[in-house]
Chains A and B, each alone.
Chain A
Amino acid sequence: GQSLEQPSEVTAVEGAIVQMNCTYQTSGFYGLSWYQQHDGGAPTFLSYNALDGLEETGRFSSFLSRSDSYGYLLLQELQMKDSASYFCAVRELTGGGNKLTFGTGTQLKVEL
């Protein structure tokens, strides 16, 4: 099975940089995804890493180390609208497709 750990809460100041970590234990690993969810809303896809290293998309970057079973999401130039929950998810391939297992999420609070 899969097991993912994330810190439950992180607080940061507007304009700052924040890093949210994710460690995982898995019996099958194909990649690590990150999703953002505002209160009461649908999760939306942010980033994906299949190989070691850093992926950058605008203010968001995601890092993966497969040997350490570890990844993180980095948000730069924080804005109030970034206050949300952030979930990492392990992707494994099953049969003809995907299966994603999510962590419990990190709630990010951005303050003035």
Chain B
Amino acid sequence: DGGITQSPKYLFRKEGQNVTLSCEQNLNHDAMYWYRQDPGQGLRLIYYSQIVNDFQKGDIAEGYSVSREKKESFPLTVTSAQKNPTAFYLCASSMTRRGTGELFFGEGSRLTVL
């Protein structure tokens, strides 16, 4: 079945460690996104990519990094520079300008910093 796969679902890390969250899609979508969600809050855009080898900062990019070497993959690294990394991270993909711009989301990765 087509969809978006995020891993791991749950992740614990110690302060000062970098961690990479995986996101893979087989929907043949050009665009991919990373959002962060804190309890009781909306989704805030971290990074997005419209095409391979290109990506743009979202509203809260500080302390995060991404790469887009393949159309299917858009991993997110949470670096030690991110001051408050404990959150629910959601990856999404979409077609580009056509249609409704509907985002298809993965099931999320919940990161806890100990």
A interface, CB within 8 angstroms of B: 1, 4, 30-31, 33, 35, 40-45, 48, 50, 87, 89, 91, 93-105
Contact = CB atoms under 8 A, between A and B. Distances in A.
A101 B59 contact: yes
A105 B42 contact: yes
Contacts of A87: 42-43
A93 B106 CA distance: 22
Given A33-B100, A96-B50, A101 B106 contact: no
Contact of B42 (A44, A94, A102): A102
B68 to A, nearest CB: 13
Contacts, number: 74
A21 to B, nearest CB: 15
B107 A31 contact: no
Contacts of A102: 35, 42-44
A94 to B, nearest CB: 7
A100 B103 contact: yes
Given A43-B103, A50-B100, A102-B42, 17 more contacts: A31-B100, A41-B107, A41-B108, A42-B90, A42-B107, A43-B105, A87-B42, A91-B101, A96-B30, A96-B51, A97-B30, A97-B31, A97-B96, A99-B45, A100-B33, A100-B45, A105-B41
Nearest to A30: B101
Interface of B: 30-31, 33, 35, 41-45, 48, 50-51, 56, 58-59, 90, 94, 96-97, 100-108
Contact of A99 (B48, B102, B104): B48
B100 A44 contact: no
Given A95-B50, A101-B59, A105-B42, A44 B105 contact: yes
B21 to A, nearest CB: 14
Contacts of A98: 31, 94, 96-97, 101
A112 B68 CA distance: 48
